[in-house]
Amino acid sequence: MERLIEGHKRFLREVFPGRRSHFHLLAEGQAPEWLFITCSDSRVVPDMVLGTEPGDLFIARNAGNVVPLTSQDVDGCTATIEYAVKVLKVKDAILCGHSDCGALKAALDHSALEGLPKAERWLNHVEAAFGYQQPLNPADGESAELASLIRGNVVAQLLNLKAQPAVRLAMEEGLLRVHGWYYDILTGRIEQYDEGLRRFVAWGE
């Protein structure tokens, strides 16, 4: 806890004074440009990776960057999506998976979920990833099978995202674009799913 307290003191001393006007505007409301759906993994830090500022990203996080498809339950992720699209009017929705994802590791080896009934139930949502596994990439080395499944989960959850009523309507009206990304922690690089090519393409290719 001491590290967090000291970090906050440093923020108040070194960061906040120079950004006071920006935070003053944020205190009055938000107008993020992007909805960013990603994993809870502590190694994924969107603002650092994308160079964004407070107020730029409306972020939804959960284990496995899941977008549940159900008409019965209410969950935080789909409620966040609905609010972002219908109220905040974001222009882009990004579904971002990442390398070495523990949720997809558990999908490959269910023994990792022993004694975790809630996590096991939640991760039923990633089973669809097996139907969208991507070709193995030699660059992924020993993690190629896992990386293939993680990318497949991005595709599966992207389809779930498009199926959300608010998203589907906004897309039909030309008000929203959706994107599927894969973030590699080791290299820091992002790949985007190209629906025409039906594969992931690194930015700059």
Options 77, 96, 98, 151, the catalytic residue: 98
Answer positive or negative: Cα dihedral of 107, 110, 113, 119: positive
Q: Is 168 a catalytic residue?
A: no
Q: Is 39 a catalytic residue?
A: yes
Contact 200, 135 (CB under 8 A): no
Options 8, 43, 110, 121, the catalytic residue: 43
Q: Is 73 a catalytic residue?
A: no
Q: Is 77 a catalytic residue?
A: no
- The string over 110-133, giving b where at least 16 C-beta atoms fall within 10 Å of a residue's C-beta and e elsewhere, is eeebeeeeeeeebbebbebbeebb
Options 77, 101, 151, 184, the catalytic residue: 101
Q: Is 96 a catalytic residue?
A: no
What CA–CA distance (Å, rounded) separates 118 from 115? 9
**Contacts of 45 by beta carbon, 8 Å cutoff, 6+ apart:** none
Options 41, 77, 96, 125, the catalytic residue: 41
Structure tokens at 15: 């960061």
Catalytic annotation, residues: 39, 41, 43, 98, 101
